[in-house]
Amino acid sequence: MERMAEDIHNKRVFSLFEVAKSIQKTIMDRYTSSYWVKAEMNKLNYYSHSGHCYPELVEKSGGKVVAQLKANLWRDDFKRINEKFTEVVGEPLKDGIKILLLATLSFDPAYGLALRIIDIDPGFTLGDLEQEKANTIARLKKEGLFHQNKSLSLPLLPQRIALISVETSKGYADFLNVLTTNIGGYAFFHFLFPSLLQGEQAVKSILQQLQRIKKVQSHFDVVAIIRGGGGDVGLSCYNNYELAKEIALFPIPVITGIGHATNETVVEMVSFSNAITPTKIAEYLIQQFHNFSVPVQKAEEKIKDKALRLLNEQQTQVTSVLKLFRSVTQNVLVKNRSAVDAHGKSIIRQADFLFKSERNEMHALRSRLQRGAALACDANKQAVKLSVSHLQKDVAACLMGFKFGMEKTAGLLHHASKLLVSKNQQELKHDQQLLVAAIRQQADAARVAVGGLEKEVRIMSPENVLMRGYSITLRENKAVGNSQQVKKGDVLTTILYQGVVTSVVETSEKNTEA
Residues 6+ apart with CB under 8 A from 258: 197, 225, 227, 235, 238, 265, 267, 268, 274
CA distances from 71 to 48, 103, 104, 289, 401 (A): 17, 9, 10, 57, 157
Q: H or E segment at 243?
A: helix 241-248
The closest alpha carbon to 217, from 162, 166, 164, belongs to 162
Are the C-beta atoms of 245 and 138 separated by less than 8 Å?
no
pLDDT digits (tens, 9 = 90+) for 27-53: 777 877 888 888 888 888 899 999 999
The mean pLDDT value for 423-452 works out to: 68
pLDDT digits (tens, 9 = 90+) for 122-158: 877 666 777 777 888 898 999 999 999 999 998 888 9
pTM score, two decimals?
0.46
Residue 163 CB neighbours (<10 A): 25
The closest alpha carbon to 116, from 107, 102, 104, 108, belongs to 104
Handedness of CA 225, 231, 233, 239 (dihedral sign): positive
Axis-axis angle for helices 122-142, 75-89 (nearest 10): 40
pLDDT digits (tens, 9 = 90+) for 307-363: 888 888 888 888 888 888 888 888 888 888 887 788 778 888 887 787 787 778 777
CA dihedral 394, 397, 402, 405 (to 10 degrees): -140
Cα separation, 371 vs 392, whole angstroms: 14
